A and B are shown apart, each in its own frame.
Chain A
Amino acid sequence: MSGVLDIVYAEYNYWIYVTLMMIGFYAMIAKKNLIKKIIGANIFQTAIFLFYISLGEVEGGTAPILVGGHGEHAAEVAHEVIYVNPLPHVLILTAIVVAVSTTAVALALVIRIYQEYGSIEEDVILAARRKLQPEFSEHARLKGGEDE
């Protein structure tokens, strides 16, 4: 039992990451507002980043910047220092930039949808879409049946 609790305590980063990921996932699925959906996607992405950074962490490690890189005893000093793993950092540095570009594209689409339908609420947009094109999808027809 204490072994299980040790794991819960030692890996608390992972518990927080799963919680954040589920909060973001819930927002993406359940929220009707398109901006709220994008906020949820952002939270989801940063949760994944937190997971990767937690993976690269080393107990007692310092930032992955070369210590004692210059001078006479550079090689000896460098062997005594523990660094955290820099590989996940590099991956996440790229992923942050990708996250911003996907957010920008999504927001551009939201602006375009607002110009077209005059709303950023998903159900209003679907209702307007249904009025324009009554049979645009099977799902909308089934939903429309229970609405009206």
Chain B
Amino acid sequence: MIWVLDITMLLFLVVCAIAAITIKDLLSAIIILSAYSLIMAIVWVEMQSVDVGFTEAAVGAGITTVLFIATLARTEGRSED
């Protein structure tokens, strides 16, 4: 485990999480959530759990984003908070 990479990625995770819940434009929030999932996948691969890492990259960053954007296409894209 490379601890500098680990700590950097974990701090990026916190920044992404805070950004995803504070941004008012929902499409931006969803894309940031996708980036969050991808960083999480990097953290897991770097923590030697490769199987969980690539499942998260495919499912968390891929399918979840598609589902969110499909929902956004049928509802409205702005959030009040």
Residues of A within 8 A of B49 (CB): 53, 56, 63-64, 84, 88-89, 92
**Quick check: A50 and B40 within 8 Å, CB to CB?**
yes
Q: Which of A39-97 contact B (CB under 8 A)?
A: 39-40, 42-43, 46, 49-50, 53-54, 56-57, 61-65, 84, 88-89, 92-93, 96-97
Given that A16-B13, A35-B26, A39-B33 are known contacts, is A103 also in contact with B67, CB under 8 Å in the complex?
A: yes
| Total chain B interface residues with beta-carbon distance under 8 A | 43
| Total chain A interface residues with beta-carbon distance under 8 A | 50
Shortest distance in angstroms between A77's beta carbon and chain B's nearest beta carbon? 18
B55-81 toward A: CB 8 Å interface, digit per residue (1/0)? 110011001100110111011100111
Q: How far is the CA of A66 from the CA of B58 in the complex (A)?
A: 24
Is residue A31 within 8 Å, beta carbon to beta carbon, of the partner chain? yes
Residue among A26, A88, A93 with max Cβ neighbours from chain B (10 Å): A93
**Quick check: B52 and A93 within 8 Å, CB to CB?**
yes
B12-47 toward A: CB 8 Å interface, digit per residue (1/0)? 011001101100001001100100110010011001
**Quick check: B37 and A114 within 8 Å, CB to CB?**
no
Given that A36-B21, A120-B76 are known contacts, is A100 also in contact with B64, CB under 8 Å in the complex?
A: yes
Q: A interface, by DSSP: helix, strand, loop or mixed?
A: helix
Q: How far is the CA of A94 from the CA of B63 in the complex (A)?
A: 15
Given that A53-B49, A107-B71 are known contacts, is A96 also in contact with B56, CB under 8 Å in the complex?
A: yes
Residues of B within 8 A of A121 (CB): 79-80
Measuring CB to CB, which residues of chain B are less than 8 angstroms from any residue of chain A? 1, 6-7, 10-11, 13-14, 17-18, 20-21, 26, 29-30, 33, 36-37, 40, 43-44, 47-52, 55-56, 59-60, 63-64, 67-68, 70-72, 74-76, 79-81
16 contacts between A and B (CB under 8 A): A12-B7, A12-B10, A16-B11, A20-B14, A27-B21, A30-B81, A31-B21, A35-B26, A35-B72, A43-B17, A43-B33, A49-B40, A49-B52, A64-B49, A89-B51, A120-B75
Given contacts A39-B68, A43-B20, A63-B49, 7 further A-B pairs with CB under 8 A are A31-B79, A32-B80, A36-B21, A50-B44, A57-B48, A92-B52, A99-B60
